[in-house]
A and B are shown apart, each in its own frame.
Chain A
């Protein structure tokens, strides 16, 4: 039987409950929520005067009611040391989600640490150190001293390049402005760490260098643009699952035609119709099925390309649009460079030349027929897409097209050029900075980046995972990252990382823990013999944490105040609504305490000049870090304080702030609305982005050698690497193992039935998944859940990246064989079609 909670009633929120602002800390969309809390010995009542909603709760409430919450939205937590009931439910007045809760965000309460109700008991409560052959709790003072002494010693011996860092750069949980500033000030301010990588890729680089180099920052429109567009052109995305309420609340109304009033009101001088949508994806997703159901097949074009051929398609679209004259000549003249001389050539840090419109059209010229050969699409469909994007509307008005892309492009073949080729089409058609337009990434996490300059890292940045595999570095600080689940070439990485950290563990076992000098000497000696000392800062025990020698417990969103921005740059403050577990602290304060200890140790070592660099970490609260970081360093940060953000509620403002008027922070609805772009001369660039096949090393060979494409990505129930979901019964009941969608004919070839465990293997490594029969899958093309703990897809992704060390997870090929019949945890599962059909 499916998992059931056997909950038949919930405590009612009393009328006088405390109500605080919450932004969901999971995906980029950042839905607005409220946390209601009240003493554990009290409850509200069904009478309107006795509950927070002012309605009669003795009656059945209607669909979309504000006066209901699911069991997953309820918990009992500690607040200032006292037990309180808490309900964290979606906010109907938030413009982002209008009361919608996704299957992720609607579980915020249930995914909170509660001793009272035994949820998330995995959370780290104390610093842990390797002692007597296992991880043992200790004090902050003790753990930080060990971290600082070993780190300082490695820096003294090897220089700062001996300190390797893995650190998230995002917002939301495990991130946010406070915490990226904390780690940023430590590693880029006090030090100049070069061997640093980000949570989901093996280097310190942008996922979208191309669009930035062209002057077009990637989050340039607002969510309302999806309601205003004539056409949405979406690439390598699955927004119903991964930006759920952005899709439901802003795309669907346009596809259904329910945003027509808004279009006519805001854009009265042109013809309007419900939106058309083009989706580029080798896989038929639930998003595509939903678009078909809402817009009708006649308004939905699925360009089911061969995996990794997007660039050829975009170049053909640019060619077709230019040849038809469907371009925005005035925009091109006013806002983009006028000659190739004003551009820049390709070099090691820029894998394509930047140029003017004419040179780009000539350089990228590809006919629909040529692109058809490469992509597998029909030339007619390519021309149809071009007309949907750019053919002028009735009355000759420019068609408003919004371009959206995410990991299918970002983790796809030839990231830099493919990103540039898509932005080319948006620029040529004048669809940046205008209502109903934008060329945007859809995003994964929220954003929340403010750090000192990273210029010293350079381009291309160091391939940190490879250097670790090669034995480089002496100490590794890991912040909210789990390479074991979320990197490429993961089998090899784990094998070597375990060997190197085990060396240090064995050395630590050889001396009494209390003899600190002998302990540091033993560790340093092991490092000299190829060992690696590893420090993990996280909220839960991670897989890479199993290899670490010190684990430091962090607080997450809601256990500390936290600021982030969403995919339309909407910045909000999540207020602290509960206590962190045990001794856990927000990351910014952990970083500050590491800095304090490094200063002390360098001083003791007689290195006063080095010690002086660690000044300025006397923060007592996360608000101190916010003021030191965002307020003093971010564009428009001077207008932003916690108090002002609190007053702005769940709607916040859209960054950058430009002022503070009438008690409100003034924001920016769209970037580049003035036609000026993010380059030295304010002119956007086009890119010369020729097609060059599968670009990353080893990909074409892998494709030739193995039978199945192992496409991969997300499922809506699972957040990130399932670091919290792993302890959520509802999610783990559905996905005890990662699914791999396979066409029934492929399953017959391999000899497996639904739910059977299969091994996915190639020359990079091997992993496992459970077979999910999928009639819409193309034979030979599978799709596997990414970054899942019980079967890590990254094990079979080879080490090949693009020139800027962007991983290419999507283009992976492998063979598949049966491991076993469906295990007991799988036998009760549904393997029916996941697509909604209106029929």
Chain B
């Protein structure tokens, strides 16, 4: 596997984050001792996902991947404007989707193929279909590709607000 980039070596990709929301959350948590936090805010059934601005509709060109990260800068992903509506697609054309680009099998970075709109893993050859909710076309992962829950506001800003599967390399999607 030496020829493949390890996830930690992928480098910080270009991403945009909803800085205000995340920073406020961190500050609030930091002011409370752990025991008090447990009493004041009982554990929730799901992790709290940040609402992070990943870009604007105007930034996206059909079938050109935009490197992003979600829910934090150690979780690389991609935004795609597919150019045709898909189930779960966001935006005015219902064609914007976002996925992690970390393979859920062993954590290698996925490559995007514009020809057939798939993400493929150079580590062990798994392939995922960006037009079918990240379904594993063929591969070793025991889950389909984690996809972003996206919201597009009136200004065309695209926010990620959740994930539908566990990300590779973390036992909680939000660390």
A binds B: yes
Q: Residue A4 at the B interface, CB < 8 A?
A: yes
Our pick among A63, A258, A828 for the contact of B169 (Cβ within 8 Å) is: A63
Q: Residue A330 at the B interface, CB < 8 A?
A: no
Our pick among A2, A59, A70, A832 for the contact of B104 (Cβ within 8 Å) is: A70
Q: Residue B165 at the A interface, CB < 8 A?
A: yes
**Nearest residue, chain B, Cβ from A61:** B169
Our pick among B106, B166, B169, B174 for the contact of A10 (Cβ within 8 Å) is: B166
* Bound form: Cα–Cα A288–B153 in Å: 47
Contact B173 A836 (CB under 8 A): no
Q: Residue A186 at the B interface, CB < 8 A?
A: no
Closest-CB distance, A734 to chain B (whole angstroms): 7
Contact A828 B171 (CB under 8 A): no
Contact A836 B1 (CB under 8 A): no
**Nearest residue, chain A, Cβ from B5:** A63
**Nearest residue, chain B, Cβ from A72:** B142
Our pick among B4, B144, B162, B172 for the contact of A2 (Cβ within 8 Å) is: B144
Q: What per-residue 1/0 map shows which CB atoms of B112-127 lie under 8 Å from chain A?
A: 0100101011111111
Q: What per-residue 1/0 map shows which CB atoms of A63-76 lie under 8 Å from chain B?
A: 11100111111000
Our pick among A100, A286, A828 for the contact of B133 (Cβ within 8 Å) is: A828
Contact A62 B6 (CB under 8 A): yes
Q: Residue B75 at the A interface, CB < 8 A?
A: yes
Q: Residue A348 at the B interface, CB < 8 A?
A: no
Contact B75 A838 (CB under 8 A): no
Contact A71 B166 (CB under 8 A): yes
Contact A730 B143 (CB under 8 A): yes
**Nearest residue, chain A, Cβ from B73:** A60
Q: Residue B37 at the A interface, CB < 8 A?
A: no
Q: Residue B159 at the A interface, CB < 8 A?
A: no
Q: Which of A1-47 contact B (CB under 8 A)?
A: 1-10, 12
- Cβ contacts under 8 Å, B87 to chain A: 1, 828
Contact B123 A2 (CB under 8 A): no
**Nearest residue, chain A, Cβ from B107:** A63
**Nearest residue, chain B, Cβ from A57:** B171
Contact A60 B129 (CB under 8 A): no
* Bound form: Cα–Cα A57–B174 in Å: 11
**Nearest residue, chain A, Cβ from B174:** A8
Q: Residue B18 at the A interface, CB < 8 A?
A: no
Assuming the A-B contacts A63-B108, A63-B123, are A1 and B133 also in contact, with contact meaning beta carbons closer than 8 angstroms in the complex? yes
* Bound form: Cα–Cα A733–B133 in Å: 12
* Bound form: Cα–Cα A70–B144 in Å: 11
Q: Which of A284-318 contact B (CB under 8 A)?
A: 286, 289-290, 293
Q: Residue B134 at the A interface, CB < 8 A?
A: yes
Contact B106 A100 (CB under 8 A): yes
**Nearest residue, chain B, Cβ from A289:** B125
Closest-CB distance, B100 to chain A (whole angstroms): 11
Q: Residue B22 at the A interface, CB < 8 A?
A: no
Contact A4 B138 (CB under 8 A): no
Assuming the A-B contacts A1-B88, A102-B140, A834-B138, are A293 and B125 also in contact, with contact meaning beta carbons closer than 8 angstroms in the complex? yes
Q: Residue A716 at the B interface, CB < 8 A?
A: yes
Q: Residue B80 at the A interface, CB < 8 A?
A: no
Contact B140 A103 (CB under 8 A): yes
Which label, helix, strand, loop or mixed, suits the secondary structure of the B interface? loop
B8, B47, B142, B143 — most chain A CB neighbours (10 Å): B142
**Nearest residue, chain A, Cβ from B111:** A838
Contact B171 A68 (CB under 8 A): yes
Assuming the A-B contacts A1-B133, A2-B132, A9-B47, are A286 and B171 also in contact, with contact meaning beta carbons closer than 8 angstroms in the complex? no
A8, A103, A289 — most chain B CB neighbours (10 Å): A8
Closest-CB distance, A256 to chain B (whole angstroms): 7
Closest-CB distance, A783 to chain B (whole angstroms): 14
Q: Which of A53-94 contact B (CB under 8 A)?
A: 57-65, 68-73
Contact B140 A71 (CB under 8 A): no
Our pick among A7, A68, A290, A830 for the contact of B132 (Cβ within 8 Å) is: A830
Closest-CB distance, A93 to chain B (whole angstroms): 16
- Cβ contacts under 8 Å, A734 to chain B: 135-136
Q: Residue A121 at the B interface, CB < 8 A?
A: no
Q: Residue B168 at the A interface, CB < 8 A?
A: yes
Interface size class of B (residues with CB under 8 A): 35 or more
Our pick among B129, B135, B143, B163 for the contact of A72 (Cβ within 8 Å) is: B143
Contact B120 A837 (CB under 8 A): yes
* Bound form: Cα–Cα A835–B126 in Å: 9
Assuming the A-B contacts A71-B166, A828-B133, are A5 and B6 also in contact, with contact meaning beta carbons closer than 8 angstroms in the complex? no
Q: Residue B32 at the A interface, CB < 8 A?
A: no
Assuming the A-B contacts A60-B75, A64-B106, A838-B122, are A2 and B135 also in contact, with contact meaning beta carbons closer than 8 angstroms in the complex? yes
* Bound form: Cα–Cα A5–B120 in Å: 21
* Bound form: Cα–Cα A9–B107 in Å: 17
Q: What per-residue 1/0 map shows which CB atoms of A805-828 lie under 8 Å from chain B?
A: 000000000000000000000001
Assuming the A-B contacts A834-B127, A836-B127, are A103 and B116 also in contact, with contact meaning beta carbons closer than 8 angstroms in the complex? no
Contact B166 A9 (CB under 8 A): yes
Contact A106 B142 (CB under 8 A): yes
Assuming the A-B contacts A2-B132, A2-B134, A828-B87, are A70 and B169 also in contact, with contact meaning beta carbons closer than 8 angstroms in the complex? no
- Cβ contacts under 8 Å, A828 to chain B: 87, 132-133, 135
- Cβ contacts under 8 Å, B143 to chain A: 4-5, 70-72, 730
Closest-CB distance, A398 to chain B (whole angstroms): 30
Q: What per-residue 1/0 map shows which CB atoms of A735-748 lie under 8 Å from chain B?
A: 00000000000000
- Cβ contacts under 8 Å, B102 to chain A: 63
Assuming the A-B contacts A730-B143, A828-B133, are A62 and B169 also in contact, with contact meaning beta carbons closer than 8 angstroms in the complex? yes
* Bound form: Cα–Cα A59–B4 in Å: 21
Contact B2 A258 (CB under 8 A): yes
- Cβ contacts under 8 Å, A244 to chain B: 140
- Cβ contacts under 8 Å, A240 to chain B: 125
Contact A10 B132 (CB under 8 A): no
* Bound form: Cα–Cα A6–B3 in Å: 33
- Cβ contacts under 8 Å, B141 to chain A: 70, 103
Contact B171 A62 (CB under 8 A): no
Closest-CB distance, B56 to chain A (whole angstroms): 25
Assuming the A-B contacts A70-B104, A830-B129, are A60 and B144 also in contact, with contact meaning beta carbons closer than 8 angstroms in the complex? no
**Nearest residue, chain A, Cβ from B162:** A8
Q: Residue B164 at the A interface, CB < 8 A?
A: yes
Q: Residue A118 at the B interface, CB < 8 A?
A: no
Contact A60 B175 (CB under 8 A): yes
Contact B123 A290 (CB under 8 A): no
* Bound form: Cα–Cα A837–B129 in Å: 14
Closest-CB distance, A563 to chain B (whole angstroms): 26
Chain A to chain B contacts (Cβ below 8 Å), 16 pairs:
A2-B136, A5-B165, A8-B162, A8-B166, A62-B169, A63-B169, A64-B106, A68-B107, A70-B142, A71-B165, A71-B166, A828-B87, A828-B135, A829-B132, A830-B131, A837-B113
Identify the 5 closest CB pairs spanning chains A and B, nearest first.
Answer: A836-B125, A63-B107, A2-B135, A834-B138, A72-B142
